[in-house]
Amino acid sequence: MDTASAPPLAAPLDIAFDYTRSLGPVLGRFMTGLRDRRVLGARTADGRVHVPPLEYDPATHAPVTELVPVPPTGTVTSWTWTDRPLDGQPLERPFGWALIRLDGADTALLHAVDAGTRESMRTGMRVRIRWAAERSGHIRDIACFEPDAGPPHPPDDSTSGDPGTSSGAGANGELVTGITTPIRLSYTHTTSAEESRYLHALSEGRLLGQRCPACRKVYVPPRVCPADGVPTEEEVPVRDHGTVTTFCVVNVPFAGQRLDPPYVVAQVLLDGADIPIPHLILGEAGDVRMGMRVAAVWRDPATWSTTPENIAHFRPTGEPDAPYESYQEHL
């Protein structure tokens, strides 16, 4: 393959973590209220009621301590429409995203309105909370809002959502103190032109370096020289033999780990290169030394692709150790 003209490589990078949130006294009571089908707003020193609640008064900066119930009905103050809901949004059919000022509140809450059609949405429309069947103390306890034909509730109306269920509010569990917020991020990771050439060469069993035209250092993998800020262009083959400059024995297990500890991650200065690459050394962990000579152990060529994992690991060659002076500038 003409690696010089090969297009950049791209592959998905999906990362995910179930983050936790400790809520503190204000948001904890708000979430507990939602679980119990009650909406609480924060009253600040100027008398305004904020829904969702603020933890600190933006004018006085004092902690908010007073939470007041507001009714489950309100008015749309502005809106937009989504024809194609995305994964994780409140509704799977087209819906309105609306700013909704609950009766008795002075600020608006962003949520979904299950209005059926765009034509049914309008600023000033009356809406009511549709509670989720299963509630845990989370903003998703409000499944969405739906159009409401009833009269406005007075601000001091503290009845909860559905008739006949308010008596149990607040009595069915402990204070909610935390929530889990799963976050999924999906990227397309694209390599640079220099890295792409390196990876294409790897898929052919070759290790490719490039020499910086300014400092003359050979970079593996090739990259814009970090010291001089200029692209490297002159391609230089490097050997799949090298010297361990330094290393770490990883004994600690952790989330997302792909290898079973213990294993050795070494900085390997390939012969002909001026910067080490990190890779695995297999064998007895206790035998790995600074200065040890090692060679790449390639996987079956039938499995090769554009990845450094074509090299399964490095193995000791049995040659005498490289003298410290030969690699001390690379530590």
Partner 1 sequence: MRRAAVLGTGQTQHQTRRTDVSMAGLCREAIDRALADAGVDWPQIDAVVLGKAPDLFEGVMMPELFLADALGAAGRPLLRVHTAGSVGGATGVVATSLVRAGIHHRVLAVAFEKQSESNAMWALSIQPPFTAPIGAGAGGYFAPHVRAYIRRSNAPEHVGAMVAVKDRRNGALNPYAHLRQPEITLNSVQASPMLWDPIRYDETCPSSDGACAMVIGDQAAAEASERPVAWIRATAMRTEPTYFAGKDHVNPRAGAEAAQALWQAAGITDPLTEVDVAEIYVPFSWFEPMWLENLGFAEAGHGWKLTESGETQIGGRLPVNPSGGVLCSNPIGASGMLRFAEAARQVMGRAGEHQVAGAKTALGHAYGGGSQFFSMWVVGDTPGR
Among residue numbers 178 through 237, which ones bind partner 1 (CB under 8 A)?
178, 181, 183, 189, 191, 195, 199, 212, 215, 217-219, 225-227
Residue spans of beta strands (DSSP E) within 89-230: 95-102, 109-113, 126-131, 142-147, 178-190, 207-211, 218-219
Q: Which residues contact 101 (CB under 8 A, 6 or more apart)?
A: 74, 75, 77, 107, 108, 109
Q: Given the rule CB under 8 A, which of 30-38, 146-154, 266-274, 295-303 is the region that contacts partner 1? A: 266-274
Phi, psi (deg, nearest 5) at residue 139 = -60, -25
Nearest to residue 249, comparing CAs of 233, 231, 263, 236? 263
Q: Given the rule CB under 8 A, which of 69-77, 123-131, 144-152, 302-310 is the region that contacts partner 1? A: 302-310
C-beta of residue 234 within 8 angstroms of C-beta of residue 209 = no
CA pair distance 153, 104, nearest whole angstrom: 8
- State yes or no: residue 308 binds partner 1 (CB under 8 A): yes
- Cα angle 163-167-171, degrees, rounded to a multiple of 5: 135
Beta bridge partners of 76: 100
What residues numbered 8-67 form the site for partner 1, per CB under 8 A? 9, 11-13, 15, 17, 19-27, 54-61, 63
C-beta of residue 80 within 8 angstroms of C-beta of residue 107 = no
- Cα angle 29-35-40, degrees, rounded to a multiple of 5: 45
Two structure tokens written together for 296? 């790449």
- State yes or no: residue 117 binds partner 1 (CB under 8 A): no
* Smallest separation (angstroms) from partner 1 to the CB of 22: 4
Q: Given the rule CB under 8 A, which of 29-37, 69-77, 158-166, 305-313 is the region that contacts partner 1? A: 305-313
What residues numbered 270-289 form the site for partner 1, per CB under 8 A? 274-275, 278-280, 285
Could you say which of 32, 73, 243, 245 contacts partner 1 (CB under 8 A)? 245
Cis before 262? omega within 30: yes
In this complex, which beta carbon is closest to partner 1, that of residue 122 or of residue 187?
A: 187
Size of the site for partner 1 (CB under 8 A): 74
* Smallest separation (angstroms) from partner 1 to the CB of 324: 7
CA pair distance 29, 137, nearest whole angstrom: 9
In this complex, which beta carbon is closest to partner 1, that of residue 7 or of residue 256?
A: 256
Could you say which of 146, 290, 299, 304 contacts partner 1 (CB under 8 A)? 290
In this complex, which beta carbon is closest to partner 1, that of residue 93 or of residue 258?
A: 258
**CA torsion, ordered 200, 201, 203, 207, to nearest 10 deg:** -140
List the 67-70 sheet strands across, edge first.
Answer: 49-50, 39-43, 67-70
* Smallest separation (angstroms) from partner 1 to the CB of 281: 11
* Smallest separation (angstroms) from partner 1 to the CB of 270: 12
- State yes or no: residue 257 binds partner 1 (CB under 8 A): yes
Phi, psi (deg, nearest 5) at residue 173 = 150, 175
Phi, psi (deg, nearest 5) at residue 225 = -60, 120
In this complex, which beta carbon is closest to partner 1, that of residue 150 or of residue 182?
A: 182
In this complex, which beta carbon is closest to partner 1, that of residue 164 or of residue 256?
A: 256
Q: Residues 77-96: x/- map of binding to partner 1 (CB under 8 A)?
A: --------------------
Could you say which of 169, 267, 295, 316 contacts partner 1 (CB under 8 A)? 267
- State yes or no: residue 139 binds partner 1 (CB under 8 A): no
- State yes or no: residue 249 binds partner 1 (CB under 8 A): yes
Nearest to residue 212, comparing CAs of 200, 202, 222? 222
Two structure tokens written together for 329? 């500038």
Could you say which of 163, 256, 318, 320 contacts partner 1 (CB under 8 A)? 256
